[in-house]
Chains A and B, each alone.
Chain A
Amino acid sequence: MLTIDQLSLQLPLYTSWWKRDWATCLDEFSLTVFPGEVHAVVGASGAGKSLLAYAIMDLLPTPARLNGQLYYQGKPLNASRQRQLRGRELALIPQSLSALDPLVRTQRQVTWAALRAGQPSAHAWHASQQALDHYQLDARAQQAYAHELSGGMARRVLTAMAHVSQAKLVIADEPSVGLDPHQRRRVLDALRELADQGKSVILITHDLRHALPIADHVTIMRDGKRVETAPSCAFQGTGSMLLSAYSQALWLALPDNAFAATTTRRVEQEAHVA
């Protein structure tokens, strides 16, 4: 479906007034997502997860250096194809809730997404209605402005927009941030459902525990590099099925598990060797 091949990204960083360095945000990052699966990308803040999403959608800030290749359905995904496909076959559920237009009611917003996806205007309103009903947004939420929605509702509106666009690849950037467990469950279930319909879902999150219940594969990311891609069932017990010491330590450090940093020495060594 989507293959990311050795993607490197550098962004300018002013170290003083005139000195401009290039900060490496993605370092030869590779990833393959198949249809019908949820692929979670997990890393701490600053690991380059959101930039990965922007690189796939061609939404990076202008002075960025991008190397490597993207393939979508076997064919190279270049800037013009990205522009043509995004909003249609590629959909992004952004992290920031300010992505919703503050001047427009929910349903208009979702209808726009349907129109962008190429649905006839007579049908778009109906489709958006259906999508909103599907995500259990009641009549009041459908007529609300963005600032009147709670965090969980706004996420579901954004998910409905991805749903109505009939996208084949959905990228969800931190959809679980700031939600209570009940709301989180609903948003994540909605993503799982998209995958079960045969779409590909890339779930970007900083919390491994949010990703595991719905993900098929998990890619652990650290400082812009891929540490390991493992099936989500490998994250269990003492993590002995995980290949790299870092992801093992990550798994063990969770408060649900050992909550211990005993293995970190080995991880530091591993980082030094790399």
Chain B
Amino acid sequence: MSQAQPRLRAAFSLGVTALLVMGLVASQWLLGDSPQQMQFDARLAPPSVEHWLGTDALGRELWARTLAGLALSFWVGCLAALLSTLIALSLAAIATLSARLDALVSLLIDTLLSVPHLILLMLIAFALGGGTQAVIIAVAVTHWPSLARVLRAELWQLRQAPYVRISRALGKSRWFVLHGHLLPHLIPHCLVGALLLFPHAILHEAALTFLGFGLSPSQPAIGVLLADAMRYLSGGYWWLGIFPGLGLLLMVLGFERLSSHLRRAL
């Protein structure tokens, strides 16, 4: 059945993901300020019935902090992926307008792809002074090239399609052809592309924060949690690193699966 109905499977994983995300968002509301609440009688407590995932050096509940971190990562990832897709789409659309613009966009894509992501990320985030906004902008600005390349190739191929050329011959403007014929065709590509960018964005956000260039240490971001955990790892406090890491991994894998299902269905 799952083989015969790719759309059913995609709908299923879409539903599961939507439920999880809704749960994540709702949990923030219910949690209140518990991620920040310190319990000095239970510092560095291992996982137990009382402290589900254990506590950190200041006695803060790790499960609450992990959930809060995931929610934060989700918003950052969402915004960054969305921005990235918008940049990719508009650049790909601009590239179709003339051969010179296309060369320019191609050059930009190649240049960005040839520079290691993380270094560029650090530079941009550092230049913007850190914080949530800086991380979102830095991730968005560095992640669009691969998607832009796919969209551009797709557009170039589509421009040669008989129906597009006939549309021009029937007196339709470039603008009409772009939004009437070309862009609707790209919606599935953009959707899948954005979903594929999302885990990347989250991972890079975490990495950036872990390295100290991203979100401020006072926020319970996954990167902050992991960086914190590093200091206590040699002391045998394994739960500090494992659980936030596992949460991040599950979220990333979940979105990867969703995007691969969607790609097959669309």
Contacts and interface: CB of A to CB of B under 8 A. Distances in A.
Contacts of A63: 3-5
B51 interface: no
Interface string A6-27: 0000001010011000000000
Interface in B1-49: 3-5, 7
A62 interface: yes
9 closest residue pairs by CB, A with B:
A63-B4, A62-B3, A62-B4, A18-B7, A63-B5, A17-B7, A14-B7, A63-B3, A12-B4
Contacts of A12: 4
B146 to A, nearest CB: 27
Nearest to A64: B4
Contacts of B4: 12, 62-63
A19 B83 CA distance: 33
A267 B92 CA distance: 52
Interface of A: 12, 14, 17-18, 62-63
Nearest to B1: A63
A18 B5 CA distance: 10
Q: Is the interface of B mostly helix, strand, loop or mixed?
A: loop
A138 to B, nearest CB: 35
Classify the secondary structure of A's interface with B.
loop
A63 B4 CA distance: 5
Interface string B107-146: 0000000000000000000000000000000000000000
Interface string B168-208: 00000000000000000000000000000000000000000
Contacts, number: 9
A14 B7 CA distance: 10
9 contacts: A12-B4, A14-B7, A17-B7, A18-B7, A62-B3, A62-B4, A63-B3, A63-B4, A63-B5
Interface string B59-72: 00000000000000
A12 to B, nearest CB: 8
A204 B84 CA distance: 50
A239 B23 CA distance: 73
A181 to B, nearest CB: 27
A42 to B, nearest CB: 27
A102 B5 CA distance: 32
A2 B47 CA distance: 71
A18 B10 CA distance: 12
Contacts of B7: 14, 17-18
B240 to A, nearest CB: 45
Given A14-B7, A63-B5, 7 more contacts: A12-B4, A17-B7, A18-B7, A62-B3, A62-B4, A63-B3, A63-B4
A131 B224 CA distance: 71
A17 B7 CA distance: 9
Nearest to B11: A18
Nearest to B4: A63
B262 to A, nearest CB: 13
Interface in B47-93: none
Contacts of A17: 7
Nearest to A14: B7
Contacts of B5: 63
Contacts of B3: 62-63
Nearest to A63: B4
Nearest to B5: A63
A120 to B, nearest CB: 38
B204 to A, nearest CB: 33
Nearest to A12: B4
A266 B59 CA distance: 89
B5 to A, nearest CB: 8
A61 to B, nearest CB: 10
B138 to A, nearest CB: 36
B88 to A, nearest CB: 25
Nearest to B3: A62
A18 B4 CA distance: 14
Nearest to A17: B7
A132 B4 CA distance: 41
A193 B238 CA distance: 78
Contacts of A62: 3-4
B137 to A, nearest CB: 35
A14 B265 CA distance: 12
A60 to B, nearest CB: 13
B221 to A, nearest CB: 37
A173 B149 CA distance: 38
A259 to B, nearest CB: 28
A65 to B, nearest CB: 10
B63 to A, nearest CB: 38
B232 to A, nearest CB: 50
A129 to B, nearest CB: 40
A68 B69 CA distance: 59
Contacts of A18: 7
A14 B266 CA distance: 11
